[in-house]
Protein backbone atom coordinates (compact mmCIF):
# COMPACT_ATOMS: atom_id res chain seq x y z
CA UNK A 1 0.00 0.00 0.00
CA UNK A 2 1.24 3.49 -0.85
CA UNK A 3 -0.06 6.48 1.08
CA UNK A 4 -0.57 9.45 -1.26
CA UNK A 5 -0.72 12.00 1.55
CA UNK A 6 -0.80 12.27 5.34
CA UNK A 7 -3.25 14.65 7.03
CA UNK A 8 -2.73 15.56 10.70
CA UNK A 9 -5.66 17.13 12.54
CA UNK A 10 -4.42 19.54 15.21
CA UNK A 11 -5.18 22.66 17.21
CA UNK A 12 -3.33 25.82 16.19
CA UNK A 13 -1.65 26.38 19.58
CA UNK A 14 2.11 25.69 19.41
CA UNK A 15 1.69 24.43 15.85
CA UNK A 16 5.29 25.38 14.98
CA UNK A 17 6.52 23.05 17.73
CA UNK A 18 4.03 20.36 16.80
CA UNK A 19 5.15 20.42 13.17
CA UNK A 20 8.68 19.38 14.12
CA UNK A 21 7.34 16.68 16.42
CA UNK A 22 5.00 15.35 13.75
CA UNK A 23 7.90 15.10 11.29
CA UNK A 24 10.02 13.18 13.81
CA UNK A 25 7.18 10.81 14.66
CA UNK A 26 6.34 10.09 11.03
CA UNK A 27 10.00 9.31 10.44
CA UNK A 28 9.90 6.92 13.41
CA UNK A 29 6.80 5.35 11.83
CA UNK A 30 8.80 4.67 8.67
CA UNK A 31 6.85 6.98 6.36
CA UNK A 32 8.68 7.41 3.04
CA UNK A 33 10.64 10.65 3.02
CA UNK A 34 8.85 12.42 0.18
CA UNK A 35 5.27 11.62 1.21
CA UNK A 36 3.28 14.91 1.39
CA UNK A 37 2.10 15.91 4.88
CA UNK A 38 -0.48 18.60 5.71
CA UNK A 39 -1.60 19.87 9.10
CA UNK A 40 -5.33 20.61 9.12
CA UNK A 41 -6.15 22.98 11.95
CA UNK A 42 -9.35 22.64 13.98
CA UNK A 43 -11.25 25.43 15.74
CA UNK A 44 -10.81 26.41 19.36
CA UNK A 45 -13.83 26.44 21.70
CA UNK A 46 -14.96 29.97 20.86
CA UNK A 47 -14.67 29.27 17.12
CA UNK A 48 -16.66 26.03 16.92
CA UNK A 49 -20.08 27.52 16.12
CA UNK A 50 -18.69 29.74 13.39
CA UNK A 51 -16.68 26.85 11.93
CA UNK A 52 -19.79 24.66 11.77
CA UNK A 53 -21.59 27.37 9.85
CA UNK A 54 -18.72 28.10 7.45
CA UNK A 55 -18.22 24.38 6.77
CA UNK A 56 -21.99 23.92 6.27
CA UNK A 57 -22.10 21.25 8.95
CA UNK A 58 -25.06 20.52 11.21
CA UNK A 59 -25.07 18.69 14.53
CA UNK A 60 -27.50 15.79 14.67
CA UNK A 61 -30.65 17.21 16.27
CA UNK A 62 -32.21 15.68 19.39
CA UNK A 63 -29.56 13.00 19.64
CA UNK A 64 -28.48 11.71 23.04
CA UNK A 65 -24.93 11.25 21.76
CA UNK A 66 -24.73 14.80 20.43
CA UNK A 67 -26.03 16.23 23.70
CA UNK A 68 -22.96 14.78 25.43
CA UNK A 69 -20.40 15.78 22.76
CA UNK A 70 -17.63 18.00 24.04
CA UNK A 71 -16.52 21.01 22.02
CA UNK A 72 -13.26 19.17 21.28
CA UNK A 73 -15.16 16.22 19.80
CA UNK A 74 -17.07 18.66 17.61
CA UNK A 75 -13.84 20.42 16.61
CA UNK A 76 -12.18 17.15 15.62
CA UNK A 77 -15.30 16.02 13.72
CA UNK A 78 -15.01 19.26 11.72
CA UNK A 79 -11.35 18.45 11.13
CA UNK A 80 -12.11 14.97 9.79
CA UNK A 81 -14.72 16.39 7.41
CA UNK A 82 -12.19 18.93 6.11
CA UNK A 83 -9.63 16.17 5.55
CA UNK A 84 -12.10 14.03 3.59
CA UNK A 85 -12.99 17.01 1.43
CA UNK A 86 -9.32 17.72 0.74
CA UNK A 87 -8.77 14.06 -0.11
CA UNK A 88 -11.52 14.21 -2.73
CA UNK A 89 -10.48 17.60 -4.13
CA UNK A 90 -6.87 16.45 -4.53
CA UNK A 91 -8.04 13.11 -6.01
CA UNK A 92 -6.03 10.87 -3.67
CA UNK A 93 -6.42 7.10 -3.87
CA UNK A 94 -5.20 6.56 -0.30
CA UNK A 95 -4.65 8.91 2.64
CA UNK A 96 -3.50 8.52 6.23
CA UNK A 97 -5.48 10.52 8.80
CA UNK A 98 -3.94 11.23 12.21
CA UNK A 99 -5.05 13.29 15.18
CA UNK A 100 -2.44 15.19 17.19
CA UNK A 101 -1.04 13.04 19.97
CA UNK A 102 -0.32 10.03 17.75
CA UNK A 103 2.72 7.96 18.69
CA UNK A 104 4.46 5.37 16.50
CA UNK A 105 5.00 2.06 18.28
CA UNK A 106 7.33 0.76 15.57
CA UNK A 107 8.45 1.42 11.99
CA UNK A 108 5.07 0.13 10.95
CA UNK A 109 4.55 1.74 7.56
CA UNK A 110 5.85 -1.41 5.83
CA UNK A 111 3.03 -3.37 7.54
CA UNK A 112 0.31 -1.48 5.68
CA UNK A 113 -0.23 -4.26 3.19
CA UNK A 114 -3.56 -5.99 3.96
CA UNK A 115 -5.02 -8.42 1.48
CA UNK A 116 -8.60 -8.23 0.32
CA UNK A 117 -10.99 -5.35 -0.27
CA UNK A 118 -11.21 -2.53 2.24
CA UNK A 119 -12.04 1.18 2.52
CA UNK A 120 -10.86 1.92 6.06
CA UNK A 121 -7.68 0.76 7.78
CA UNK A 122 -7.34 1.18 11.57
CA UNK A 123 -3.80 1.50 12.87
CA UNK A 124 -4.77 0.78 16.48
CA UNK A 125 -5.82 -2.73 17.52
CA UNK A 126 -8.21 -2.10 20.41
CA UNK A 127 -11.99 -2.05 19.96
CA UNK A 128 -14.62 -1.35 22.60
CA UNK A 129 -16.14 -4.85 22.54
CA UNK A 130 -12.94 -6.72 21.72
CA UNK A 131 -11.31 -7.13 18.35
CA UNK A 132 -11.82 -10.84 17.97
CA UNK A 133 -8.49 -12.15 19.14
CA UNK A 134 -9.93 -12.94 22.57
CA UNK A 135 -13.68 -13.35 22.24
CA UNK A 136 -14.28 -14.33 18.62
CA UNK A 137 -16.39 -11.39 17.43
CA UNK A 138 -14.27 -10.82 14.33
CA UNK A 139 -16.17 -11.19 11.07
CA UNK A 140 -13.10 -12.52 9.27
CA UNK A 141 -9.34 -12.65 9.66
CA UNK A 142 -6.67 -12.44 6.98
CA UNK A 143 -3.14 -12.98 8.25
CA UNK A 144 -2.11 -10.05 10.44
CA UNK A 145 -5.32 -8.14 9.65
CA UNK A 146 -8.84 -8.56 10.99
CA UNK A 147 -12.26 -7.00 10.77
CA UNK A 148 -12.59 -5.14 14.11
CA UNK A 149 -15.64 -4.76 16.30
CA UNK A 150 -17.22 -1.54 17.53
CA UNK A 151 -14.76 1.21 18.39
CA UNK A 152 -14.93 4.89 19.26
CA UNK A 153 -11.47 6.09 18.19
CA UNK A 154 -10.57 7.96 15.02
CA UNK A 155 -7.02 9.12 15.76
CA UNK A 156 -5.17 6.95 13.23
CA UNK A 157 -6.62 5.38 10.10
CA UNK A 158 -6.08 4.98 6.39
CA UNK A 159 -8.82 5.70 3.88
CA UNK A 160 -8.98 4.73 0.20
CA UNK A 161 -10.40 6.89 -2.57
CA UNK A 162 -13.54 4.75 -2.43
CA UNK A 163 -13.75 5.26 1.32
CA UNK A 164 -13.40 9.02 0.93
CA UNK A 165 -16.30 9.11 -1.52
CA UNK A 166 -18.46 6.98 0.77
CA UNK A 167 -17.97 9.11 3.90
CA UNK A 168 -18.64 12.32 1.97
CA UNK A 169 -21.92 10.90 0.60
CA UNK A 170 -23.02 9.47 3.95
CA UNK A 171 -24.94 12.46 5.34
CA UNK A 172 -22.34 13.11 8.05
CA UNK A 173 -22.51 16.82 7.20
CA UNK A 174 -26.20 16.86 8.18
CA UNK A 175 -25.83 14.68 11.30
CA UNK A 176 -22.49 15.51 12.91
CA UNK A 177 -21.52 13.00 15.61
CA UNK A 178 -18.07 12.01 16.98
CA UNK A 179 -15.93 10.79 14.08
CA UNK A 180 -15.14 7.43 15.69
CA UNK A 181 -18.83 6.72 16.34
CA UNK A 182 -19.62 7.69 12.76
CA UNK A 183 -17.02 5.31 11.33
CA UNK A 184 -18.43 2.43 13.41
CA UNK A 185 -21.91 3.25 12.07
CA UNK A 186 -20.59 3.18 8.51
CA UNK A 187 -19.21 -0.31 9.20
CA UNK A 188 -22.48 -1.66 10.63
CA UNK A 189 -21.11 -2.25 14.16
CA UNK A 190 -22.58 0.80 15.93
CA UNK A 191 -24.56 -0.38 19.03
CA UNK A 192 -26.42 2.92 19.36
CA UNK A 193 -29.47 2.28 17.18
CA UNK A 194 -30.21 5.97 16.71
CA UNK A 195 -26.71 6.70 15.38
CA UNK A 196 -26.63 3.47 13.35
CA UNK A 197 -29.84 4.46 11.55
CA UNK A 198 -28.37 7.78 10.36
CA UNK A 199 -25.70 6.40 8.04
CA UNK A 200 -25.43 3.67 5.39
CA UNK A 201 -23.51 0.52 6.19
CA UNK A 202 -21.13 0.68 3.22
CA UNK A 203 -17.58 0.75 4.65
CA UNK A 204 -15.30 -2.30 4.73
CA UNK A 205 -12.65 -2.01 7.45
CA UNK A 206 -9.60 -3.85 8.72
CA UNK A 207 -7.29 -3.48 11.72
CA UNK A 208 -3.86 -4.90 12.44
CA UNK A 209 -3.39 -7.52 15.16
CA UNK A 210 -0.75 -5.39 16.88
CA UNK A 211 -0.73 -1.69 17.78
CA UNK A 212 0.94 0.31 15.01
CA UNK A 213 0.15 3.73 16.45
CA UNK A 214 -0.97 4.73 19.95
CA UNK A 215 -2.11 8.09 21.32
CA UNK A 216 -1.31 10.51 24.11
CA UNK A 217 -3.76 13.01 25.56
CA UNK A 218 -2.27 16.06 27.25
CA UNK A 219 -3.38 18.13 30.22
CA UNK A 220 -0.85 19.99 32.34
CA UNK A 221 -1.57 20.31 36.04
CA UNK A 222 -1.12 23.50 38.08
CA UNK A 223 2.65 23.90 38.15
CA UNK A 224 4.36 22.43 41.21
CA UNK A 225 7.79 21.88 39.72
CA UNK A 226 9.49 20.25 36.72
CA UNK A 227 7.83 17.03 35.61
CA UNK A 228 4.59 17.62 37.51
CA UNK A 229 1.78 16.44 35.23
CA UNK A 230 -1.87 15.51 35.49
CA UNK A 231 -1.95 11.86 34.58
CA UNK A 232 -5.04 10.29 33.07
CA UNK A 233 -6.00 7.04 34.81
CA UNK A 234 -6.83 5.34 31.51
CA UNK A 235 -4.24 2.73 30.49
CA UNK A 236 -4.50 3.99 26.92
CA UNK A 237 -3.42 7.58 27.63
CA UNK A 238 -0.24 9.18 28.89
CA UNK A 239 0.84 12.79 29.41
CA UNK A 240 1.22 14.33 25.98
CA UNK A 241 4.61 15.24 24.58
CA UNK A 242 3.01 17.45 21.97
CA UNK A 243 3.45 20.71 23.87
CA UNK A 244 5.18 19.73 27.13
CA UNK A 245 4.19 22.98 28.81
CA UNK A 246 4.22 23.40 32.57
CA UNK A 247 1.93 26.17 33.73
CA UNK A 248 3.43 28.29 36.49
CA UNK A 249 1.34 30.28 38.98
CA UNK A 250 0.09 33.39 37.22
CA UNK A 251 -0.17 31.65 33.85
CA UNK A 252 3.47 31.96 32.75
CA UNK A 253 4.47 29.03 30.56
CA UNK A 254 7.76 27.17 30.50
CA UNK A 255 8.20 25.28 27.22
CA UNK A 256 10.91 22.64 27.08
CA UNK A 257 13.35 22.34 24.16
CA UNK A 258 12.62 20.29 21.05
CA UNK A 259 15.52 17.95 21.88
CA UNK A 260 13.90 17.00 25.17
CA UNK A 261 10.57 16.57 23.39
CA UNK A 262 11.84 14.10 20.82
CA UNK A 263 13.65 12.05 23.44
CA UNK A 264 10.34 11.44 25.18
CA UNK A 265 9.06 9.01 22.55
CA UNK A 266 12.23 7.31 21.31
255 in the same domain as 128: no
Q: Is residue 156 located within the same domain as residue 198? A: yes
Same domain, 185 and 263: no
Q: Is the pLDDT of residue 174 over 70?
A: yes
* Residues 245, 178 share a domain: no
Q: Are 89 and 186 in a shared domain?
A: yes
Same domain, 190 and 132: yes
Task: Tell me the H-state helices in the chain.
Answer: 15-29, 48-54, 64-67, 71-89, 161-168, 179-186, 193-196, 258-263
Domains: count for the chain: 2
Q: Looking at the structure, tell me whether residues 99 and 139 fall in a common domain.
A: yes
Domain holding 255, by residue range, is 217-266
pLDDT of residue 25: 92
Helical (H) or strand (E) element with 96: strand 94-99
> Considering 215, 238, 253, which residue would you say is the last residue of a domain?
215
Q: Are residues 127 and 229 in the same domain?
A: no
Same domain, 192 and 228: no
123 and 247 belong to one structural domain: no
The residue among 200, 215, 230 that closes a domain is 215
> Environment class of residue 146 by beta-carbon count within 10 Å: exposed (0-12), middle (13-18) or buried (19+)?
buried
Contact 188, 202 (CB under 8 A): no
State mean pLDDT over 209-232: 48
Residues 121 and 233 in one domain: no
Give pLDDT, residue 128.
46
User: Of the segments 17-26, 77-86, 124-133, 244-253, which one has the largest average pLDDT value?
Assistant: 77-86
pLDDT digits (tens, 9 = 90+) for 49-105: 999 999 999 998 765 555 678 899 999 999 999 999 999 999 999 999 999 988 887
32: domain CATH number is 3.90.550
Q: What percent of the chain has pLDDT over 90?
A: 48
> Are both 18 and 56 inside the same structural domain?
yes
**pTM for this entry:** 0.77
Residue 97: burial class (beta carbons within 10 Å; 0-12, 13-18, 19+): buried
Amino acid sequence: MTINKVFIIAFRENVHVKKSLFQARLKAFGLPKHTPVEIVEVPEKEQVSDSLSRSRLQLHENGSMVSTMSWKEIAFAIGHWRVWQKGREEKHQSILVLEEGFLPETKAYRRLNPEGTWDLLYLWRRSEHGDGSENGDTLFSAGDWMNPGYRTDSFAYGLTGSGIRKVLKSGFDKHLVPAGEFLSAMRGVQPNEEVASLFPNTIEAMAHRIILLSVRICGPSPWKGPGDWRKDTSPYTRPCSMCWVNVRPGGQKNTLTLNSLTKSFR
